[in-house]
Chain A
Amino acid sequence: MASELPPEFIVKIAYDRCRRCKRCVMNCSFGCMQFTDRVVPEHKLCVACQRCVTFCPEHAITITKNELAYKENANWSPETRQNILKQAETGGILLTGMGNPREYPILWDHLLVDACQVTNPSIDPLREPMELRTFLGRKPDRLEFVESEYGEIDLATEIEPQVRLDVPVVFGAMSYGAVSLNVHRSLAMAAARSGTLMNTGEGGLHKELYPYSGNVIVQVASGRFGVHSEYLNTSAMVEIKIGQGAKPGIGGHLPGEKVDEDISKTRMIPVGSDAISPAPHHDIYSIEDLSQLIYAIKEATDYEKPVSVKISAVHNVAAIASGIVRAGADVVTIDGFRGGTGAAPMVIRDNVGIPIELALAAVDERLRSEGIRNNASIICAGGIRNSGDMAKAIALGADAVVIGTAALVALGCRICQKCYTGNCAWGIATQKPELVRRLDPQVGAGRLTNLLTAWSLELKEVLGSLGVNSIESLRGSRERLRGIGLDSQTLELLGVKPAGVGQ
C-alpha cells in the first residue's frame, strides 16, 4: 500500500536560476532529487537536511514546511497526526534521532550570571592569566604532608588517578557505528589539540585511533562491543554506560546493514549482524554489582585510570548518584533528557527523564550533604548549547560539561533527526563510504578545535566579569547565579535566589 502521508516539506526550485549542474541530485542522500530534463524534487523524500540548499551554486533551492498539509489545529499538531498515520500504516515503534525537540522549559535560559561592579573589581582576561584547567577523578578527603630531613615539604597522601582537561568540555559518547569513522577521527584530533577527551561510545575504538589514547574515554556498555583489556588500557578514562539521556532505560541497536567490515572489526562481531545492546548490563542488578564492575575495570587497568559511570537524569538521580559514588566511581556523568542519540524510540526520547539543570543541582547538593562530593567529579551532559550553558552548569556544581550535539553541529549536522536512517547527507551518522567521505577529518578537527577555543575565550570573559581568575572559584558557586521566571520550588531545587535579590 502506498503511503498516504503528505510530504513534510516542499522543495522549491527557482528554475530561472538553475543551471542544471545536478549538484543537488548528487548531494541528496535521501533520493529526493531526480533529474529528467530538469531537476524534479520528490517532496515526500525531503528531510530538510539542507545539503542541496547549501551546495547549490545558484542558491536556487528553498525548502519550506508543507504548511497546509494538515489543517491548522492547536491540539492536533501536524506531527501528532503524521505519527498516527505512520503507525497506522506500519504498526511499528516510531524511531527518531538527535535530542528531545519538544518545548519543555530550558532552565539554562532562566538562569543569569552575576558580575562585579565597583566594590570588587572584575578582571580583564586579555591581560591576566585565567585558569581553566580541571582535573577529573577522586580527590582525597584530606592532604597529609611530610617534612624531609632537608626541611622540604612533600605530599604524603597518595592521590588517585586524575585526568587533566585544559578546557572543562569533553566530547559526548558517540559510537563508531552510530557516527562515521571520520567523526571519530575529527573528535580525537580535536580532543588532542584542545587538551580534552573524546568518548568512544559503546562501539569500541578503531585501531587507527589508538595513538590518541591519552585523549580517549573508552566506554563499556551492556553489549560489551569491542571491550577487551587492550581497549580498556588504551584510554585516559573508562566509562561504564548505564544510561543515556535521550533514552533512559533503553538499550541500543545498531542495525545489521550498518555493520560493515571495519565496524565489525572494531565491535568484534560478524559483518551484517545486528549489534544489540541490552537495556541493562546483565552483571549489574544492584549498586554492589556496579561496584564489582567498577573494580573489575580497575583491576584490568591496574588502578591507573579513573572510572566513570554514566547515567541518565531520572527522577531518583541524586540517590542513584550517591550509590554510584559509594560504589567506587571516580566520576559520575549525568545525561539530561535533551541529550542526543543516533536512534531512539520517539516516545522515550520525548517523554522520559528530567532536565539536566535540575538533575545536576540535585546530585551536587546530595553529594555535598553526604560529605562525599570530593569522592567523584561530576560531568554534566545533555543539552549544553553554548559557553553560557557551560558556565551555568559549572556554577551549579559540574566539574566539566559534555557536548555531543553541539560538536556534531560544528561538523555540519543540521539536526534533521534522521540519524537512524544511516543516510546522513553530512557524512556524520552514516557508514556509506560515499557519504562518509563528505566529512574531511582534518577540516572537522579544525572546526571542533575552533569551537572549543571560542568557548574557552568566552568562559574566561565570564570568569573575568565575575572577578575570579580560576574555574575552581566558579565551581559549585550557586551564589553567582540568579533565577528569572522560575517558581519558588524550582529555585529551591536549583539552590539559586531569584533575580533582584542581593546577598
Chain B
Amino acid sequence: MVMRIDCKGLYYRKQNKIIRDAAEEGETEFILDNANGQRYIGNGIEKNIKITVNGVPGNDLAMFMNGPTIIVNANAQDGVANTMNAGEVIVHGSAGDVIGYGMRGGKLYVRGNIGYRAGIHAKEYKKQIPIIIAGGVAGDFCGEYMAGGVLVLLGLNRGEGVPIAGNYLGTGMHGGVIYIRGEVDEYTLGKEVSVLPLDKKDLKVLTKHLKEYCEHFGLDLDEIMAEPFIKLQPLSNRPYGCLYAY
C-alpha cells in the first residue's frame, strides 16, 4: 500500500509524525503531495521506506536518516542528508547549502546544482562510504574538512565560463576523494588538496556510481564518461599535525 499525504498547509511536525507512526505500523511507501518547505522529512527514520516528495521539501531533508529512499521531484533546500547514516536521496532539481554535512553513509544524487559547503566534513568508516553526486556545479567551500566519502561534480549544462566549483574547494580536506568532470583553477583549491589523474581503481569506482546516477536521471553514461575527470585528494590525513610546539 502507498500512503498519500497532502502536505498543503500541513505543519511539519504533524506530517513527520504521520510518516513515523505509519512506518512503525509497517507502511513502506509514502507520497507527499504539495510539499512546500516542510522540514526534516525522513529525519532519523531507521526503516527501509520510500518517500516521494512532490513539491519542495524544507531544510534538513533526510537528516540523521538511516535507511529510507527519498525521491524529490523538485528542488531541495539546505541541509539535505545532514549527518545521514544510510539510505538514498534523489533530487530531480538543485539542492541548497550544506548538503551532506557530516554524512557518513548512503547516497545523495542531485540532478542540478548544489550550494555552498557541500559534503563538508563527510566521513567514512570501513564499508560505510557516503556518495554525493551533483550533475551541475557547486558553490564555495565544496568538500571542506572532508574526512571521507566520494563527492562527484559533473558540471553538466553549465553556462559559458561558469566554474564547476567555487573557491576554497577541499579546504581542510583530510580524507575521501572528489572527482571533477573537467578542470578547476589552481587558485580555487584549498591548500590541503592535490590534483591527480584518475587511475584504474578510480575509474571503476566512478563508473559504478555514475551508472546508478545515470539510471535515476535517464542520462547517458558514455557521454558523461567521454569527458576527462580529475581527482582531488588530501595531501595528508593529518593536515594540522605540525601546528603545535611540544
Contact = CB atoms under 8 A, between A and B. Distances in A.
Contact of A228 (B59, B66, B172): B66
Interface in B135-162: 144-145, 147-148
A93 B20 CA distance: 49
Nearest to B83: A224
Contact of B64 (A223, A264, A269, A300): A300
B104 A268 contact: yes
Interface string A200-227: 0000000000000000000000111001
A57 interface: no
B239 A278 contact: no
Interface string A225-236: 001111010000
A253 B78 CA distance: 27
B54 to A, nearest CB: 21
A228 B43 CA distance: 11
B153 to A, nearest CB: 19
Interface in B72-113: 78-79, 82-83, 85, 98, 101-102, 104
Given A92-B245, A256-B241, A295 B39 contact: yes
Contact of A227 (B20, B40, B79, B102): B102
Given A224-B83, A282-B98, A229 B64 contact: yes
Most central of B65, B172, B175, B245 by chain A CB within 10 Å: B245
Given A273-B174, A299-B13, 19 more contacts: A93-B243, A223-B121, A227-B102, A228-B85, A229-B66, A232-B64, A255-B238, A269-B123, A269-B147, A270-B237, A274-B240, A282-B120, A282-B145, A283-B79, A283-B101, A292-B59, A299-B44, A300-B63, A302-B20
Contact of A232 (B44, B98, B120, B128): B44
A498 B226 CA distance: 80
Given A268-B125, A282-B120, A276 B145 contact: yes
A276 B147 contact: yes
B240 A276 contact: yes
A43 interface: no
B117 interface: yes
B245 A228 contact: no
B33 interface: no
Contacts of A93: 243-245
B210 to A, nearest CB: 25
B46 interface: yes
B242 interface: yes
B40 A90 contact: no
Given A90-B245, A93-B243, A224-B102, A282 B64 contact: no
A430 interface: no
B188 interface: no
B82 to A, nearest CB: 6
A31 B147 CA distance: 34
A341 to B, nearest CB: 14
B145 A278 contact: yes
Interface of A: 86-87, 89-95, 222-224, 227-230, 232, 253, 255-256, 264-265, 268-270, 272-274, 276, 278, 282-283, 292, 295-296, 299-302
A92 B246 CA distance: 8
- 7 interchain residue pairs of minimum CB distance: A300-B44, A224-B102, A92-B245, A229-B44, A268-B125, A90-B245, A299-B43
Contacts of A296: 39-40, 43, 60, 63-64, 82
Given A273-B174, A300-B43, A92 B244 contact: yes
A253 B242 CA distance: 12
A261 to B, nearest CB: 11
B128 to A, nearest CB: 7
A327 to B, nearest CB: 14
Contact of B238 (A230, A232, A256): A256
A274 B234 CA distance: 12
A282 B147 CA distance: 14
Contacts of A91: 245
A255 B63 CA distance: 28
A268 B237 CA distance: 15
B198 to A, nearest CB: 22
Contact of B175 (A94, A230, A265, A273): A273
Contact of A282 (B46, B121, B246): B121
B164 to A, nearest CB: 21
Contacts of A255: 238, 241
B240 A253 contact: yes
B229 to A, nearest CB: 24
Instruction: Indicate the member of A92, A95, A253, A282 with the most B CB atoms within 10 Å.
Output: A282
B16 interface: yes
Given A232-B44, A273-B237, A90 B64 contact: no
A301 B44 contact: yes
A270 B39 contact: no
